[in-house]
Structures are given as C-alpha cells and as structure tokens.
Structure 1
Amino acid sequence: MQPWIHLATAKTPQGGDLRLLRRGTEYSIRLEGGNELMNSRLSGSEEALATLSFEHLTDRAAPRVLIGGLGMGFTLRAAQEVAPPTAQITVAEIVPELVSWAQGPMAPVFGECLADPRVSVETQDVAVLIRAARGAYDAILLDVDNGPDGLTRAGNDGLYAVEGLNAARRALANGGILAIWSAHPDTAFTKRLSQCGFDAQVHAVRASRAKRGSRHTIWIARAV
C-alpha cells in the first residue's frame, strides 16, 4: 500500500493543526493527532446535503444559497450540478488555507468549480454571515465541523444552539431551508429544531456513494 504524503498544514481558529495528506489519488484532511475530518473517497453524504436541499427549492427561480464549510467541495459541486443558472451560491470557509488548497494541491479534486460565476467564497465564519442576514437566503447548508457534536472548534456549538438556530431562521426567506450534516444522529437536536420554528426531516445517508458502509445524518428543516 502506498504511504500517505503530507502536503500542507493549516491552523484552525482554535490554534490546532489541520493536515492535508495524499495517497495516490486519495486525499485526507485530518486534525493534529490523526482524527480524519474528510476523505476524498467518502463524498456521498456531503453530496446528499445539497441534493436533498435543492429538492425543496424547485419553486425558487433564482435560489440564494449559503454553504457553511468548503471542505473538499463535495457539497458545493453537488449543488452546482442541480442549481439553475440563475442561482447564487455563497461558500463561507473560516480557514483560508482550505481555499488555497482547493486551487493548489487539491486542484485535481476541485477542478474548475470555484470559477463558476454563480459561486462566491467568503473567508470568514459562516455564523457571522448568518447573524448579519435578514431573509437573505433560500437555503443555508451547514457542513461545519462534525455537526452538532463538534470536534474542532467550541464556537461552532453556537450554530446548533437555540440562539444559532434562531439566527438561521431570521436569515432565511419565508419557507427557506436549513440543511445540516452530522456524523451522528441526535434526537435532542431534532427537538431543538422544532422548538426554534423548523419542520425537520431526518435522513440517514451513506457516507460513500456505494450502498454500503457507515451512515451520516442530514436534517432538512423548513422554516415555518
């Protein structure tokens, strides 16, 4: 088996390290200590985050979509495939190096997706954009950290607490969609969505495109 090659390192907002590694055509982003956050072979659930969301946006001629977290671009590219030419897609990524990696060592994964005129990238905390918005988005897709059970940044917890969910609801247009990716199910979080004025559906989806292997959780929550 080929060894992993260390390509680059970035600092998280907490001060820890994110490490980009490659083995052949496979890429991995890991926390310092080895905990893997993303792998280029496991894109199924992140893609489902986009496709499930856009199923609820068919009545919007020019949907305005905010994606929290660039990662390896799985959610973005899936959104681009199903979004109409009139869509506006904003990606918020708090770690600037991830954007640089997309145009550098991970260019074979990203291709030309960041050159899409429908796409703009904001190198800042998605929570800042959400708090500043009022009815600005038809959908907010959060692929941030590990979901409600965060790993890399304590501040991410605020996205999933009552205050953060209320901010997301204010940032959405009438009937807008809040979609959230998580590595694990969370019954308490489903109840919290309801308490904050969302009608939530919970989906268990495969981590990979194959119909086998582990599952991740996606909430598709409509503001009511």
Structure 2
Amino acid sequence: MCAAIVGALLVERPADVEEGFSQQAPLVYHYGHSTPGTNATLYNVLVSRLAEVINQRAESNKKASISGVIINTCGWVKGTGYKAITHAALAFEVDVVLVLDQERLYNELVRDMPGFVKVVFTPKSGGVVERSKSMRSETRDSRVKEYFYGLKTPLYPHSFDVKFSDVKLYKIGAPSLPDSCMPLGMKAEDNFTKLVPVPLGPNVLHHILSVSFATSSDEDILQTNVAGFICV
C-alpha cells in the first residue's frame, strides 16, 4: 500500500519472507499527510470509518470474524497522538492492547481504557533502536516507489493523458475560520473534513493523488475507499 493512507489488509496465509503479506484488494482510505497530527480530525474520522467497514465485512467472513484484527497505531504517544491511539482502541472495540517499551503509555492506558480491555506491557528486544525522522521519511518514500514499481521492480507504470473535463480534483480540509465567520450551524472542526475543489493546472504537478471509488461528487467521497494512486 502507498504512504499517507489509513488502510487494512485481509491476512489469510503467512507472510512471504521477502515480499511480506499479500496486498490483493486492500481496504484503503485517503488521508494525505505524513503524520496524524496534521489533521487529527480527519484521521480519527477515517479510523472510525475503517472500523465500521471491517465490522461489516467480518459479519460475512466467519474466519476473519473469529481471528480478529491486529491494529498497528503510530508511534506518537503524547497529546494528540495519545488521543489517536485511544480513539482507535475504542473505534475497533479492542480487548487487548500491547504496549512496547513505553511504561508511561502503559500506565496511561491502564487508567483510561475500559475495564474489559487488557493492557499488556512488552519489553523491547535487545538491539532495537528508534527510527530517526530521516529514516521514517526514507521509509515513506520507499513505500511510494514500491507501490508503483513493486518490491523487485517487476511493475511498469505507464503515462496516459486525460481531459481536464473528465477529472474532478479535491483536497480535504479548508483554512480555519473564527467562529464569528462560520456559517450558521457549522462548527470550526467541520473545516478539517471539508472537501475543497482544486483547479487543475501546473499546481498539481509532482503530486500523488488518490483515485476514489466514488462515481459522483454527490457521494460521500471522504468516506469512500480508494481504488489506487496516480503520480502527476
């Protein structure tokens, strides 16, 4: 899967030593940022949507329903990052939380999680080091390259032209406004999930765009999963 998304993958067999888990037909939603803190409201909306769809699919997949879900949250554990972790736990109604080498986080989750949730502290393996900011950036870049070219470059991306009239481009999130300037009945946080049309032109060059499964702008594009990604 590409970077800057919120997604899930159905795991039906052990991971390949080199290529990892099979990524056929993943469930992916467009987020568009490298950290949850850039638009925490949107991030939490997408996590809730992901949990909702996974629960629906589990109802028709007995094996998946019984085997459960493993959720890998981000490593940001303070402030908004902590709220994102607890939001994911509540959205998916988890019953076990594993905390890796973060004693303070462990104590906070023991305090804040519902009584039925078992919080387990797991020590870090010897020799494991934290990834630097530059290393995380390189990892994201490699994921984008792997999406288009494959792990061992077996894929051959190709270019094609489309008419501007055939494309509708949106970004998610509008500039914040003071409460006095907000339309009646609208809250300030609504701007974080607002779809804003983007004019097509040189401004979209060198961008990665998500292609939505939505067939018209009348659909809820924000909560519709994406078919794939293109590079402009």
Asked if TM exceeds 0.5, the reply is no
Normalized per residue, which structure has more strand? 1
Query: Between Structure 1 and Structure 2, whose CA radius of gyration is higher?
Result: 2
Normalized per residue, which structure has more helix? 2
* Length-normalised TM-score, structure 1: 0.32
* Length-normalised TM-score, structure 2: 0.31
